[in-house]
């Protein structure tokens, strides 16, 4: 059993889990109204309507889907599923990483509509949505390249 796909699968699982935790439990952005009033845009915020909180919930759910694909990739790496399913999972992980990144940009637009005209800034979940999907996507791309390289010719570690 090759340990490299296992390492990349576990690492993408860790990043996906951290991304989901940050998306669900930290704020996406903030804005100030005056000197003493600060509002935060997150799931459960009294200043964000239910539909905006739903979009934030979907953002966290995308990270949970990335976690599920990472778990499936780990199962594939252990040889429990076929190579066809393995490639589908890898391409799904790459695509879902791109969707999560683009969805983050959509959330910036929603947030900016709330904070327009005030002094505002982005917070933890926003940066999570920028960096997390890129890193997770890179792990899936590396696994695809490694898988294609390995299928063209097996590397022998025999020193005889």
**pLDDT band at residue 4 using 50, 70 and 90 as cut-offs:** confident
Percent of the chain residues past pLDDT 70, beyond the cut: 92
Q: What is the DSSP letter of 57?
A: H
H or E element in which residue 47 lies: none
Tell me the C-alpha to C-alpha distance, in Å, between residue 3 and each of 42, 97, 109, 146.
39, 23, 41, 12
Beta partners for residue 38, in sequence order: 32
What is the third-level CATH fold of 3-147? Butyryl-CoA Dehydrogenase, subunit A; domain 3 (1.20.140)
Percent of the chain residues past pLDDT 90, beyond the cut: 59
**Model confidence at 54: pLDDT above 60:** yes
Report the alpha-carbon distance of residue 17 to residue 2 in Å, rounded: 24
Any idea which residue has 């576990």 for tokens? 10
What is the residue extent of each domain of the chain? Answer: 3-147
**pLDDT band at residue 151 using 50, 70 and 90 as cut-offs:** low
Write out pLDDT tens, residues 60-113: 999 999 999 999 999 998 888 888 999 999 999 999 999 999 999 999 998 988
**pLDDT band at residue 8 using 50, 70 and 90 as cut-offs:** very high
**pLDDT band at residue 157 using 50, 70 and 90 as cut-offs:** very low
């Amino acid at each position: 059993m090759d340990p490299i796909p296992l390492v990349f699968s576990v690492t993408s699982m860790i990043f996906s889990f951290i991304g989901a935790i940050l998306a669900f439990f930290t704020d996406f952005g903030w804005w100030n109204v005056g000197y003493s009033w600060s509002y935060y845009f997150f799931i459960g915020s009294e200043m964000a309507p239910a539909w905006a909180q739903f979009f934030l919930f979907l953002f966290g759910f995308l990270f949970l889907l990335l976690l599920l694909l990472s778990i499936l990739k780990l199962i594939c790496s252990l040889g429990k599923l076929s190579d066809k399913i393995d490639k589908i999972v890898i391409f799904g992980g790459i695509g879902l990483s791109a969707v999560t990144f683009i969805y983050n940009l959509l959330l910036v637009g929603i947030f900016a509509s709330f904070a327009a005209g005030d002094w505002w800034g982005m917070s933890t979940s926003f940066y999570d949505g920028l960096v997390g999907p890129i890193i997770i996507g890179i792990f899936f791309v590396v696994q695809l390249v490694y898988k294609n390289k390995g299928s063209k010719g097996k590397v022998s570690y025999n020193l005889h």
